[in-house]
Structure 1
Amino acid sequence: MALKLKSAKKLFIFLGKSVLALVETVVFAIIPKPRKNVAGEIVLITGAGSGLGRLLALKFAQLGSVLVLWDINQENNEETCKMAGEAGATRVYAYTCDCSRKEEVYRVANQVKKEVGDVSILINNAGIVTGRNFMDCPDELIEKSLDVNFKAHIWTYKAFLPAMIANDHGHLVCISSSAGLIGINGLADYCASKFAANGFAESIFLESFAKGQKGIKTTIVCPFFIKTGMFDGCTTGCPSLLPILEPEYAVRKIVDAILQENLYLYMPKFIYLMVFLKSFLPLKLGLLLGEYLGAFNLMDGFTGARKKN
Structure 2
Amino acid sequence: MTEHEMDKVNSENQPPVNRGYGYETIQLILDIIIVHLHFWYYIFEHIYQLFLKKEEKDVRGEIVLITGAAHGIGKDTALEYASKGATIVCWDINERGNIETVKEIKAMGGKAFAYVCNITKREEILQVAEKVKKEVGFVSILVNNAGIMPCHPLLDHNENEIRMMYDINVLAHFWMIQAFVPEMIEKKHGHIIALSSCAGLFGLKNLVPYCGTKFAVKGVMSSFYEELRTIGLHEHIKLTTIYPYMVDTGLCKKPHFRFKFMKLISPQEVAKTIVSAQRRGIMEMSIPQHYLYLEKFTNFLPRKASEAVNDFLNSGVDSDL
TM exceeds 0.5?
Answer: yes
1:232 matched to 2:253? The reply is: yes
Could you say which structure has the larger radius of gyration? 2
1:137 matched to 2:157? The reply is: yes
Give the aligned residue type for 1:36.
K
| Secondary structure, counterpart of 1:274 in structure 2 | helix
Contact 2:197 2:243 in 1 (8 A): yes
1:160 matched to 2:207? The reply is: no
Q: Which residue of 2 aligns with 1:15?
A: 36
Task: Detail structure 1 runs of 4+ shifted over 6 Å in the superposition.
Answer: none
Contact 1:234 1:302 in 2 (8 A): no
1:67 matched to 2:106? The reply is: no
1:114 matched to 2:123? The reply is: no
Q: Which residue of 2 aligns with 1:94?
A: 114
Candidates 310, 313, 316, aligned match of 1:293: 313
Using the alignment, how far apart are the partners of 2:265 and 2:23 within structure 1? 55
Q: Which residue of 2 aligns with 1:307?
A: none
Which of 30-39 and 71-80 deviates more?
A: 30-39
Candidates 208, 216, 220, aligned match of 2:237: 216
1:291–1:111 distance in 2 versus 1, CA, 3 Å:
same
Give the aligned residue type for 2:255.
C
Candidates 55, 68, 92, aligned match of 2:76: 55
Contact 1:132 1:186 in 2 (8 A): yes
Shift in Å, 1:26: 2.5
Name structure 1 gaps, 5 residues minimum.
Answer: 304-309
1:41 matched to 2:62? The reply is: yes
Using the alignment, how far apart are the partners of 2:314 and 2:27 within structure 1? 49
Candidates 284, 290, 303, aligned match of 1:283: 303
| Secondary structure, counterpart of 2:193 in structure 1 | strand
1:28–1:134 distance in 2 versus 1, CA, 3 Å:
same
TM-score, with normalisation over the residues of structure 2? 0.89
Using the alignment, how far apart are the partners of 1:34 and 1:87 within structure 2? 25
Give the aligned residue type for 1:198.
K
Q: Which residue of 1 aligns with 2:13?
A: none
Using the alignment, how far apart are the partners of 2:170 and 2:104 within structure 1? 28
Shift in Å, 1:45: 0.3
Q: Which residue of 2 aligns with 1:261?
A: 281
| Secondary structure, counterpart of 1:69 in structure 2 | strand
Give the aligned residue type for 1:166.
E
Using the alignment, how far apart are the partners of 2:270 and 2:230 within structure 1? 31
How big is each residue's C-alpha offset from its partner over 1:253-281, in whole Å with a ceiling of 9 and x where there is no partner? 22111000001101213313431233121
Contact 1:52 1:251 in 2 (8 A): yes
Give the aligned residue type for 2:155.
M
Name structure 2 gaps, 5 residues minimum.
Answer: 1-21
Candidates 147, 161, 166, aligned match of 1:127: 147
Contact 2:247 2:267 in 1 (8 A): yes
1:301–1:116 distance in 2 versus 1, CA, 3 Å:
same
Aligned length: 299
TM-score, with normalisation over the residues of structure 1? 0.92
